Amino acid sequence: MGRPRLGIGTYGKITRSEVGDGRWVARTRFRDFDGVTRQVKAHGRSGAKAEAALKESLTRRQYAGGGAGLTPDSLVGKLLDCWMADVRESDRAPQTVDYYERAIEKIVRPALGSITIRECTTARVDAFLRAVPAVSSARDARVVLRQVFSLAARYDLVPSNPVADAYRPPASRSVPRALTVDDVRELRARISRWQEEQRLGPKRAHDLVEIIDVMLGTGARIGEVLALRWQDVSGLDGDSRVTVTICGTVVTANKRGCSRQDHPKTKAGYRSVTVPSFTVDALRRQQQRQIPSKEGLIFPTRLGTARWPSNVRTAWRQVRGDDYAWVRPHSFRKTVGTMVERELGVGAASAQLGHSGTAVTERHYIERALEAPDTSSILEKLGQTVP
């Protein structure tokens, strides 16, 4: 009966012998990834050292079947580059690609880029993630590393993904907070005062009030509002109801500028909403400004191009004041969700905000009521006595 064939990537019995001058050689048979069994050997100053050197060589050989020219001894930095090349060739959104690039260049590469793939063990990844100062940055790093080492596992560069069992940073536990009617009134007044303080030159963020009023009247994200075109508004020139169709968003791509994307963040985000009168007034004021735009944008730059959401956020931080430091453009979206939920229920709030279901709406967009509804008339029955 013949000798059993070795499995691919496995080796047989190791033998060792002295070859003279205090040198030893360790030998074995290894079945390579092309299916051919070859003799592999290593030398050392003792039999044990020769065998140890051979086992290390075999370990490298076992995982040398990786792709893209990578081996377990390649640097993690090269693995990051390989993964990012795949991401750029995929159908990921530009803002997603930018998110990955920022996490890699600012967090992951400085700490792990110069070690080998083999050295990037679960313990090392765990220690790195725990050492990242900001929890949000640690979450970003883990998201990237898990996908990067999934690629490494696919290329047989590691026996298993070292990130899978590493430290998992706690999820964000921010509690939704909505503005009151008085808050909105005060903030709108602050915008007007801030704009009036400037006496010379073009008015800074001249349409910030209008942008906020459209956000409050639709519940749309800031990128979705900045992507609105006049063709997306219906009924503005008549006396009937006015509707706004959310059908795009503005995306910013690192080193590639800012542009309008012809679909919202999610499929469920495509929706038409009927807007209140104050939003209609804001749209009409903006229409009177007649700002030219090739794409017909409602809120373009003075050059007619898509507007950077970050520029609106910068202007907003200058307006809101320290007492409203917690208010961000996304706070207006949470305010809309909370108000609609109070009146019409979570289903209506979810539809208004363009969510595919109510779970995200409830968890992230609706401020919990501190006072329970008046159910005393219902509970009164529990106190009734038998006549």
Residue 319 located in a structural domain: yes
Residue 386 located in a structural domain: no
- Picking from 80, 150, 149, the residue whose alpha carbon sits closest to that of residue 114 is 80
Same domain, 194 and 91: no
- Picking from 6, 342, 32, the residue whose alpha carbon sits closest to that of residue 176 is 342
Task: Tell which of 40, 62, 84 closes a domain.
Answer: 62
CA distance 284 to 275: 13
CA distance 313 to 319: 10
Q: How far is CA 248 from CA 29, 49, 163, 269, 353, in A?
A: 61, 65, 36, 9, 14
Residue 21 located in a structural domain: yes
Which two three-digit tokens encode residue 90?
A: 């995929």
Same domain, 53 and 80: no
Q: Find the DSSP H helices in the chain.
A: 47-62, 76-89, 94-103, 109-112, 122-131, 135-154, 181-196, 208-218, 222-226, 277-289, 309-320, 329-344, 346-353, 358-364, 376-379
Same domain, 58 and 80: no
Same domain, 57 and 81: no
Q: What pLDDT does 150 receive? A: 95
Same domain, 36 and 81: no
CATH number at residue 141: 1.10.150
Residue 299 located in a structural domain: yes
22 lies in which domain range? 15-62
Q: Write out the chain's pLDDT in tens, 387 residues.
A: 567 788 777 888 999 998 888 899 999 998 887 788 889 999 999 989 999 999 888 877 765 655 666 788 889 999 999 999 989 888 887 778 888 999 999 999 999 999 999 999 999 999 999 999 999 999 999 999 999 999 999 888 898 999 999 999 988 777 888 999 999 999 999 998 888 776 666 665 688 999 999 999 999 999 999 999 999 999 888 778 999 999 999 887 655 678 888 888 878 889 999 999 999 999 999 999 898 999 999 999 888 889 989 889 999 999 999 999 999 999 999 999 999 998 899 999 899 998 888 888 888 888 876 666 677 777 777 777 666
- As for how many domains the chain has, the answer is 3
Same domain, 313 and 200: yes
* Contact indicator for 202, 172 with CB cutoff of 8 Å: no
Same domain, 253 and 358: yes
CA distance 314 to 321: 13
Q: What pLDDT does 372 receive? A: 65
Q: What pLDDT does 104 receive? A: 96
Same domain, 97 and 192: no
The amino acid present at 379, given as its one-letter code, is L
Q: What pLDDT does 231 receive? A: 94
List beta partners, residue 249. 261
Same domain, 349 and 203: yes
Residue 300 located in a structural domain: yes
Same domain, 94 and 58: no
Residue 30 located in a structural domain: yes
Task: Tell which of 104, 138, 154 closes a domain.
Answer: 154
Residue 169 located in a structural domain: no
Same domain, 272 and 349: yes
CATH number at residue 337: 1.10.443.10
Same domain, 216 and 343: yes
Residue 69 located in a structural domain: no
